[in-house]
Amino acid sequence: MTGEKSGLVPYPRGIMRVFLRLPNWLYRMGLGALLDPFHIMILTTRGRHSGKARFTPIEYRRHGSKHYVISVWGELPHWVQNLQAEPMVTFSQGRHSFRARAAIVKNDAEVLLALHLFRRPNPFIYDAILARVGNIETLDLRKLPDLTRQYTVVRFDFEQGEPTLPAPSQDWRWMPLVGTAALFAITVILARRNLGIHEQ
């Protein structure tokens, strides 16, 4: 399964691809901290062909000083192929960015640890996801150790020093637009409430 495309988890295209990249826009608007409770960070890799910085929103789990990510589509995504060509990446959380070295985990016990880190907060959701990624009908925790090779897990080890790749640039020009949209939404809500009161 590693490196192949899962038939059960279609590779994102069209509107789904746009949806998955929405966190990039939040970071650009200076609102990246809103994603912290959801364990979503922005990973910067160097494009293996272009050499340019590529930004990917991605869900992670932390264990000590290490951070783990599960690639739902094996080694197919560009960010996985990029970090295989150049393992030095930048890891952005909220207003903070870190230099890290990425590696695909080959140790079965470490893969198993990462799988449990992901499913622990919400096993109902993640058991279904892991079953689909693992190409099995239902997730049986007793059999999970025998299925670790079905999953592509990436580990990020933080390193000292400044990041070699940039974090997503923050464009504060978006803030007036966001503020105007929020004010408009509040005005509409209040107007509807007042209208409902008068109608009664």
DSSP secondary structure string for all residues of 46-108: E-TTT--EEEEEEE-EEETTEEEEEETTTT-SHHHHHHHH--EEEEEETTEEEEEEEEE---H
Hey, what amino acid is at 64?
G
pLDDT digits (tens, 9 = 90+) for 101-122: 999 999 999 999 999 999 998 8
Kindly report the backbone phi and psi dihedral angles of residue 191, in degrees, each rounded to the nearest multiple of 5, phi listed first.
Answer: -65, -40
Residue 55's closest CA among 24, 85, 32?
A: 24
CA distances 134 to 57, 61, 65, 73, Å, are: 22, 19, 27, 10
The answer on pLDDT for 84 being more than 90 is: yes
198 or 150, higher pLDDT: 150
CATH code for the structural domain at 15-169: 2.30.110.10
**Tokens 């299925």 appear where?**
147
80 or 93, higher pLDDT: 80
Cross-strand pairs, 199: none
Q: What is the pLDDT of residue 112?
A: 95
Hey, what amino acid is at 200?
Q
Q: What is the pLDDT of residue 159?
A: 92
144 or 115, higher pLDDT: 115
Q: What is the pLDDT of residue 71?
A: 92
Task: State the average pLDDT over residues 3-26.
Answer: 62
Between 2-11, 63-72, 158-167, 191-200, the lowest mean confidence (pLDDT) is in 2-11
* Domain assignments of the chain as residue spans, ordered by start: 15-169, 170-200
pTM of the full structure: 0.76
